[in-house]
Structure 1
Amino acid sequence: MSLFIIGDVHGCFHTYLKLLDHWEPKTETLIQLGDLIDRGNFSPLTVRLAFETKKVFKYSVHFLKGNHEQMMVNHLKGADKSNLWINNGGKEALAQFKAQNLDPNFYLPWMESMPVFWENQHVVVSHAGFSGIGSPLDLDNPDGVLWNRKPLINLGKLQVIGHTPLLDGKPEYQSQSNSWNIDTGAYKGNCLTGIKLKKDGTFLESISIPTDPKDISDANQPYAGFLKNPLKENLRM
């Protein structure tokens, strides 16, 4: 199976649905590299869709943990003493969950169990990438795969990351580290990007969907009852 890797969604539900229209479940493994939540207007629906997608496509879909999922987990477990998540989109996300009559704690075990990377012999995917500084899988390491913003090391295989928005809205390949950054700033009004690769890391194409204004406009707040079954209505089985 080839790979379809999607960057930081940040609650941009409608944009995410449009990008998922380009996924071929029968021939492509879907990997989302973290930060499904907050910033945009539809975090609860984005989380619910991802959760249901994973249930249906158990072995061919992988949702990785981003730093915003980790911040949400910390908050829900009472471990966020400095209100880091609340001050970085969490306050608005919790209000959205309340408006949708969805309990964020229902998704806590799933989010807590999310892997922090996915790899095969040729490709490794993580939220922020491998810096070579400290333990890369330490959830609190500022230079680890959840938080790193330093240059990446070359792992001898292709890295695909997000986390650091590209202001020009274009995915970027770095030859020195053999890596792609595909965070094209969906919540900033740019676009949401997915990249398609052969399983050996050979580039096939990138697909960028302009951010749907509903996902970021203050005038379009989430409302209860939207898309009662988004999986059935929007994913090709």
Structure 2
Amino acid sequence: MIAVIGDIHGCFNTLVELYTKIVTRYPGIPVYTVGDMVDRGNLSRDVVNFIIANNIQLTPGNHDYMFFHFFKDPSSVFARSWFFNGNETTLESYEKYETDMFLHIDFIKNAPLYYNLPDCFISHAGISLQYEKYLPADYKNNLDLLESFIQNDLRSDRGVLWTRDPLLNLGKLQIVGHTTKPDITLVEDSNSVYIDTGVFLGNKLSCVIVHENLIVETLEEKAHMDDIIKR
């Protein structure tokens, strides 16, 4: 059994409350997040510190990668894209904490782009249905075949950080964020669940509890206004 938290986007106070609900109800449960820790909300640095301190397992989102590339590869497409994707609040949160910033960038750099677990498959945006035509008929028995597509398409609109395509049915529950929904949304055709519920928009931060490819429970925390109101 595991817990998976949706896109956090700098909403630290909301994250702390949701995490407390999770570990109170399910002591010792492994906790994951689908990424987009940073941008838009006010407290990106605090979010990343909390994730590291509590051993929450990250699969990074496109916003995390834009942040990382801005400082490590500033001429890249990721870095240039960050100017148009809510980076101001992230820069403000790290203004006096350069050491933290570079530790957090390394944390993002070293995080896996997906988790293929017995309970489910976790990534930021999901595995696009477009890949089906390149895979053998029995691909569900060997999801390691996805690795080369994931690595080669990091900058592509169909890639695991960016896609908004219909998703490929992987033969197990696929948990994704990136595409904002008002509530946790299960898509039966692809056996996928979308858990980005727009906390930075003032909606809520959500989590699914998963056991053996089934959603056991959903938990949520309404967005705390201190996380999102401009200071």
TM over 0.5: yes
C-alpha contact (below 8 Å) 2:129/2:165 kept by paired residues: no
Map 1:16-35 → 2, pairs under 5 A: 16-24=15-23, 26-35=27-36
Higher helix share: 2
Query: How far does the alpha carbon of each residue in 1:34-61 deviate from its partner, in whole angstroms, 9 at most, with x for none?
Result: 000010010111111112222xxxxxx4
Rounded Cα–Cα distance in structure 2 between residues aligned with 1:136 and 1:106: 25
Matching residue of 2:213: 201
The alpha carbon displacement at 1:72 in A equals: 0.8
Q: What is the one-letter code of the residue matched to 1:108?
A: I
- Of 147, 165, 171 in structure 1, the residue corresponding to residue 162 of structure 2 is 147
Deviation at 1:106, TM superposition (A): 2.5
Tell me the CA shift for residue 26 of structure 1: 4.3
Change beyond 3 A, Cα 1:77–1:195: same
Residue 97 of structure 1 aligns with which residue? 94
Q: Give me the whole-angstrom Cα distance separating, in 2, the residues matched to 1:152 and 1:18.
A: 31
* Distance in 2 separating the partners of 1:194 and 1:102: 30
> Is the 1:7–1:194 contact (alpha carbons within 8 Å) kept by the matching residues of 2?
yes
| CA-to-aligned-CA distance 1:54-83 (integer Å, 9 cap, x gap) | 2xxxxxx41111111111111011334563
* Aligned mates of 2:220, 2:30 — CA distance in 1: 18
Q: Check conservation: 1:44, 1:102, Cα contact below 8 A.
A: no
- Name the SS of the counterpart of 2:54 in structure 1: helix
Q: Which residue of 2 aligns with 1:41?
A: 42
- Displacement of 1:123 after TM fit? 0.8
Please, which of 196, 201, 211 is the counterpart of residue 223 of structure 2? 211
Residue in structure 2 matched with residue 230 of structure 1 by the alignment: none
Q: Which residue pairs with 2:52 in the alignment?
A: 51
Range with greater deviation from structure 2 (172-181 or 106-115):
106-115
Q: Please name the residue that 1:235 is paired with.
A: none
CA displacement at 1:23 relative to structure 2? 2.4
State the shift of 1:136 in Å.
Answer: 2.9
Unaligned runs of 5+ in 1: 55-60, 220-237
Residue by residue over 1:88-133, the C-alpha shift from the partner in whole angstroms, topping out at 9 and shown as x without a partner, is: 1223211221155664122221110111111223410100000043
Normalised by the length of structure 2, the TM-score is: 0.84
Moved more, 16-25 or 204-213: 16-25
Q: CA RMSD in A?
A: 1.7
Q: C-alpha distance in 2, partners of 1:79/1:133?
A: 30
Alpha-carbon distance between aligned partners in 2 of 1:43 and 1:178, rounded to the nearest angstrom:
31
Task: Please give the TM-score of this superposition, normalised by the length of structure 1.
Answer: 0.82
User: Does residue 172 of the first structure (1) align with residue 185 of the second (2)?
Assistant: yes
| 2:198 counterpart residue number | 185
Question: Alpha-carbon deviation of 1:87?
Answer: 2.2
- Give the Cα separation in 2 of the matches to 1:109 and 1:27: 26
Q: Is the 8 A contact 1:71 1:80 kept in 2?
A: no
What is aligned with 1:3? 2
Q: 2:141 — aligned with what? A: none
SS of residue matched to 2:22: coil
Correspondence for 2:173: 158
Q: Which amino acid aligns with 1:11?
A: G
Identical columns (%) = 31
Is there any run of 5+ residues in structure 2 with no aligned partner, and where?
A: 132-148
Q: Which amino acid aligns with 1:154?
A: N
Q: Which letter maps to 1:23?
A: I
Asked if 2 retains the 8 angstrom alpha-carbon contact of 1:136 and 1:143, the reply is no
After superposition, give the CA deviation of every residue in 1:148-175 in whole Å (9 maximum; x if it has no partner).
1111011111101000111xx2100010
